C-alpha cells in the first residue's frame, strides 16, 4: 500500500486552506503551520468581494482569465462546503461602478468597452441602488460579481479541515528544511516535520520565511489597507458599489463595510481615526441613504503583494517548494482556483496553463 503524500503548508489564510481542502480529498496527509490568530490574516481583514473586474484589466489579460476561472468555481466550491456542513454565505449580488457629476468618466468608459457592458444613466442606477446620491450620473453594472462572508469562510474551512484530519500547528517560527537542495519539510525550533512537498502560503509574510535559499525567494511584502464598518442608513445596500474613492459591501449583520486605503507602511498595525472619518465621508457622499452616521469598527490588514502586483503561484526554483501568495486584493476571489491548481500540481505534477504567467521562477536568481 502506497503511503499518502505528505504536504506541509505554511499559512492559514484562504490560499493555504483551499489547497489543504483540495489535497485532503486526494487522501494526502496535511500539516498547516500558522500563527493561530485569524485577525492577522488578509482573509479576515478583507471585504469578501468576488469581482473579476475589480482590477480594471481587460478580458485578454492573464489576470482576468485567472480571476474569471476562479469566479466560475465559486458556486461549486460553496456547495461542496455546505455539503461538508459549513457555509460562507456566498451571494451573487453583482456590482456597480459609478461616477458622480463632475468626476472623470475615463475609467468607467474603459470598463464598459473592455467588457461589452452598457453605461447606465442616473435613472437606471437609482433603480438598481435607490440609496445613491442624486448626482450619481453614470455607472456600469457587473451582474456576475459576488460576495462571501470572509470571516465565516475562514472559520468554516478550519472546522471542515480539522474534522477531515488536517493537523494545525500554532507557531511563529516555521521555516523550510532543504539540506540536500530540495525542500523536505518544515522546521519549528529544533523539530522537523517531514513532507514530500512544502507550500508557502503565508500572505504578506511569504518573502520572509526562514531557510529558503536566496535563489528561491520571492519579493512579496505587505500593502496595508484600513477599512471601517458603519451602521446602515434607511436604504438597503443590495449590491457591491465602487465610486468616489471608496467601495461599499453589505455584511450579513446589515452593517456596511467601507474600504480602503493603499499604504506602503510595512507591518504597522496602527489605525488612523482621520482615515476612518475620510472613508465614512466618501461613502456618505456617494450613497447618503445607505450609509448611517455611526462608525461601528475600524481595522487594517496586509495584502500580500509581489513587486509586479501579480500572484506568485507554482513550484519555485527549489524543488519541492511551492508558493501560493501575492494575491494582493483578490485572495477570496482566487481561493478556489488556487486550491484546485496548486493541489493538482502537487498531487499529480499537472501544471495548468492558467498558472504560467504567475510562476515563482520569474523571480529566480543565481
78 shares its domain with 168: yes
pLDDT score, position 57? 65
CA separation for the pair 121, 139 (Å, rounded): 7
CATH number, residue 209: 3.50.50.60
pLDDT score, position 85? 85
Is the residue at 195 inside a domain? yes
pLDDT score, position 1? 58
129 shares its domain with 254: yes
The region, left, alpha or beta by phi > 0 then psi within -120 to 50, assigned to residue 303 is beta
**Side-chain half-sphere of 320: how many Cα atoms within 13 Å?**
22
What share of the chain has pLDDT > 90, as a percent? 89
Decide if pLDDT at 26 tops 80. Answer: yes
162 shares its domain with 302: no
The predicted model scores a pTM of: 0.96
Mean pLDDT taken over the chain: 95
81 shares its domain with 15: yes
Q: How are beta strands 120-121 and 29-34 bridged, if at all?
A: unpaired
199 shares its domain with 313: yes
pLDDT score, position 290? 98
Q: What is the distance, to the nearest Å, from the Cα of residue 263 to the centroid of all Cα atoms in its chain?
A: 17
Is the residue at 236 inside a domain? yes
Is the residue at 72 inside a domain? yes
Is the residue at 1 inside a domain? no
Is the residue at 90 inside a domain? no
pLDDT score, position 56? 62
Do residues 194 and 188 lie in contact, with contact meaning Cβ atoms separated by under 8 Å? no
Is the residue at 252 inside a domain? yes
CA separation for the pair 202, 296 (Å, rounded): 29
CATH number, residue 265: 3.30.9.10
pLDDT score, position 39? 72
- Residue 366 confidence class, pLDDT cut points 50, 70, 90: low
Q: What is the pLDDT of residues 183-218, one digit of tens each?
A: 999 999 999 999 999 999 999 999 999 999 999 999
Range of the domain at 107: 95-142+222-306
Number of domains within the chain: 2
Is the residue at 171 inside a domain? yes
Domain boundary among 306, 322, 346: 306
298 shares its domain with 317: no
227 shares its domain with 80: no
Decide if pLDDT at 21 tops 90. Answer: yes
Do residues 70 and 165 lie in contact, with contact meaning Cβ atoms separated by under 8 Å? no
Is the residue at 134 inside a domain? yes
166 shares its domain with 28: yes
Amino acid at each position: 500500500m502506497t503511503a499518502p503524500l505528505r504536504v506541509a503548508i505554511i499559512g492559514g489564510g484562504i490560499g493555504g486552506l483551499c489547497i489543504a481542502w483540495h489535497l485532503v480529498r486526494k487522501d494526502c496527509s496535511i500539516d498547516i503551520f500558522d500563527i493561530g490568530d485569524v485577525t492577522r490574516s488578509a482573509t479576515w481583514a478583507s471585504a469578501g468581494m468576488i469581482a473579476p473586474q475589480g482590477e480594471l484589466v481587460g478580458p485578454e489579460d492573464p489576470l482576468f482569465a485567472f480571476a474569471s476561472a476562479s469566479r466560475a468555481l465559486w458556486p461549486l466550491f460553496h456547495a461542496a462546503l455546505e455539503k461538508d456542513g459549513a457555509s460562507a454565505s456566498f451571494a451573487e449580488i453583482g456590482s456597480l461602478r459609478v461616477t458622480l457629476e463632475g468626476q472623470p468618466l475615463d475609467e468607467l468608459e474603459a470598463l464598459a468597452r473592455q467588457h461589452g457592458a452598457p453605461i447606465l444613466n442616473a435613472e437606471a442606477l437609482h433603480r438598481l441602488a435607490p440609496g445613491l446620491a442624486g448626482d450619481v450620473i453614470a455607472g456600469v453594472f457587473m451582474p456576475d460579481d459576488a460576495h462571501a462572508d470572509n470571516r465565516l469562510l475562514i472559520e468554516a474551512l478550519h472546522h471542515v479541515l480539522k474534522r477531515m484530519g488536517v493537523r494545525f500547528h500554532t507557531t511563529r517560527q516555521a521555516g523550510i528544511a532543504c539540506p540536500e537542495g530540495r525542500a523536505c519539510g518544515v522546521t519549528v525550533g529544533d523539530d522537523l516535520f517531514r513532507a514530500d512537498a512544502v507550500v508557502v502560503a503565508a500572505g504578506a509574510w511569504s518573502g520572509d520565511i526562514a531557510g529558503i535559499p536566496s535563489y528561491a525567494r520571492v519579493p512579496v511584502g505587505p500593502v496595508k489597507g484600513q477599512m471601517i464598518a458603519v451602521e446602515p442608513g434607511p436604504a438597503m445596500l443590495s449590491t457591491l458599489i465602487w465610486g468616489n474613492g471608496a467601495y461599499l459591501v453589505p455584511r450579513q449583520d446589515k452593517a456596511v463595510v467601507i474600504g480602503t486605503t493603499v499604504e506602503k507602511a510595512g507591518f504597522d498595525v496602527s489605525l488612523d481615526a482621520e482615515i476612518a472619518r475620510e472613508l465614512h465621508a466618501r461613502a456618505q457622499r456617494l450613497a447618503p441613504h445607505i450609509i448611517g452616521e455611526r462608525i461601528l469598527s475600524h481595522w487594517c490588514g496586509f495584502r500580500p503583494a509581489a513587486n509586479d502586483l501579480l500572484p506568485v503561484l507554482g513550484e519555485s526554483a527549489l524543488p519541492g517548494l511551492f508558493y501560493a501568495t501575492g494575491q494582493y486584493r483578490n485572495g477570496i476571489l482566487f481561493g478556489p482556483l488556487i486550491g484546485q491548481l496548486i493541489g493538482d500540481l502537487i498531487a499529480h505534477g499537472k501544471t495548468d496553463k492558467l498558472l504560467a504567467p504567475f510562476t515563482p521562477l520569474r523571480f529566480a536568481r543565481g
